[in-house]
Structure 1
Amino acid sequence: MSSPAAATGLFAATWRRFRRNRRGSAAVEFALVAPVFFALLFAIIETAMVFFASQVLETVTQDSARQIMTGQAQAAAYTKTQFKTFLCGKIPTLFACADVHVEVKSYPAFTAVTITEPIDGGKNFVPPTSYSPGAAGDIVVVRVFYQWPLFVTGLGYNISNLSGSKRLLSATAAFRNEPF
């Protein structure tokens, strides 16, 4: 049987060898830093995707709203479904057209415009139902919504504004209809 002093000496010698050995230090340091690095990297990528998708939605909304502003949608007697189909024809594969929601409201003056938030108290999206492209000279507000799924929310970075780890993307175009 070894004495306690010998065991303590053996432990001390082993500990000194372990502290001097640097062969695995890079792997240990990487294991400590990697989760934070990858969480930050994925958060940056997801934020960039949200901004990119939001800009695409904004561009598509502006381009599609031009149909109403110039009176082409009114002349063709577009319904809400037909206008949404026209809008979806301009959307790239980034969005699922079934999840795109469109709201078109007309007003007599810019001071009469009221914008309501389509999110209820439980952080649920309440899809708009109105479609009124107006007549010549009317003020029209076209809003398009899309519920963008988020994936990095579990890592402590949460930019969702809807329940279920989703971000409501919205794009708005406000204009006066041209005389048509």
Structure 2
Amino acid sequence: MTVIDQKTDKGRAFAPFRFLRFRTLARSREGAAAIEFALLAIPYFLVIFAILETFVAFAAEELVSNAVDTMSRRMRTGQITYNLGRTTDMNQAQFRQAFCDEISILIRCSASEVATPSKLYLDVQTFSTFSAIPTTIPKVSTDKYADINTAAFKFAPGGAGTINMVRAYYRWEIITDLVRPYITTIRPSDGSMPSQYLIVATAAFQNEQYP
């Protein structure tokens, strides 16, 4: 009579099953996509936000530039005048409000911003010759990332036939950390994180001989 060791046979019977279950577990990829997404989500969204932020900043720059061209054309043709006793006369606050209206599709100016600039600065002046018009951005120091110097900014356009300059400066806030080191143009002297991209637009022209 042959004696069968039931414990041994039972162990042998379950050995292939344990091996197959281990192989199935090793090849299982349940949850792998979620783990991979968790690892890649942060850099992925940083890149997406950086692309969007750069696009919006450059769109704002184009918007300010178009507003400078529009306001300059109105001044050149006499649709906007200054201190001539006409219905087309505008003072500084009115001119700033009209400029803000031109950029309102993307940039909002509050009432306090129109009255006391903190982000949008406009410099409107008349000159005797084109060569007298400044060609550099006024800054508080010679540092590459120094803040702008607004002390000499004026609103004093000339009348018919005069040579004028309209310059606009806007402090655009950069939100995405990945973009800040590359496109910010104003950086604090204390070494803190920069956040502002200075938008600059300029137009130089001679007014028409309007009546």
**1:133 paired to 2:157:** yes
Q: What is residue 45 of structure 2 aligned with on the other side?
A: 38
| Contact 2:180–2:195 (Cα < 8 Å) also in 1 | no
1:117-158: CA deviations, max 9, x gaps?
144346323335222212332221101111111100x23653
| Contact 1:134–1:140 (Cα < 8 Å) also in 2 | yes
1:80-104: CA deviations, max 9, x gaps?
2232122223331532321321101
| Contact 2:76–2:205 (Cα < 8 Å) also in 1 | yes
Secondary structure of 1:167 counterpart: strand
Q: What is residue 124 of structure 2 aligned with on the other side?
A: 104
| Deviation (angstroms), 1:16 | 7.2
Alignment of 1:20-35 (within 5 A): 20-35=27-42
Do the aligned partners of residues 139 and 156 (structure 1) sit closer, same or farther apart at CA in structure 2, a change above 3 Å counting? closer
| Deviation (angstroms), 1:78 | 2.9
Task: Give the letter aligned to residue 147 of structure 2.
Answer: N
**1:175 paired to 2:205:** yes
Match of 2:75 among 68, 71, 82: 68
For the pair shown, the structure with the greater C-alpha radius of gyration is 2
Number of aligned residue pairs: 167
Separation in 2, partners of 1:17, 1:157: 48
Q: What is residue 8 of structure 1 aligned with on the other side?
A: none
Task: Give ranges in structure 1 of 5+ residues lacking alignment.
Answer: 1-12
**1:143 paired to 2:167:** yes
Q: What is residue 123 of structure 1 aligned with on the other side?
A: 146
Please identify, of 57-66 and 130-139, the stretch whose mean Cα deviation from structure 2 is larger: 130-139
Do the aligned partners of residues 130 and 157 (structure 1) sit closer, same or farther apart at CA in structure 2, a change above 3 Å counting? closer
| Contact 1:43–1:157 (Cα < 8 Å) also in 2 | no
Separation in 2, partners of 1:16, 1:126: 71
Separation in 2, partners of 1:102, 1:156: 27
| Contact 1:138–1:176 (Cα < 8 Å) also in 2 | yes
| Deviation (angstroms), 1:176 | 1.2
Q: CA RMSD in A?
A: 2.6
Q: Which ranges of 4 or more aligned residues in structure 1 deviate by more than 6 Å?
A: 15-18
Separation in 1, partners of 2:102, 2:73: 13
| Deviation (angstroms), 1:73 | 1.4
**1:95 paired to 2:107:** yes
Task: Give the letter aligned to residue 64 of structure 2.
Answer: L
Separation in 2, partners of 1:113, 1:129: 13
Normalised TM-score (structure 1): 0.78
Do the aligned partners of residues 22 and 89 (structure 1) sit closer, same or farther apart at CA in structure 2, a change above 3 Å counting? closer
Task: Give the letter aligned to residue 135 of structure 2.
Answer: I
Do the aligned partners of residues 26 and 125 (structure 1) sit closer, same or farther apart at CA in structure 2, a change above 3 Å counting? same
Q: What is residue 15 of structure 2 aligned with on the other side?
A: none
Separation in 1, partners of 2:156, 2:26: 75
Task: Give the letter aligned to residue 48 of structure 1.
Answer: F
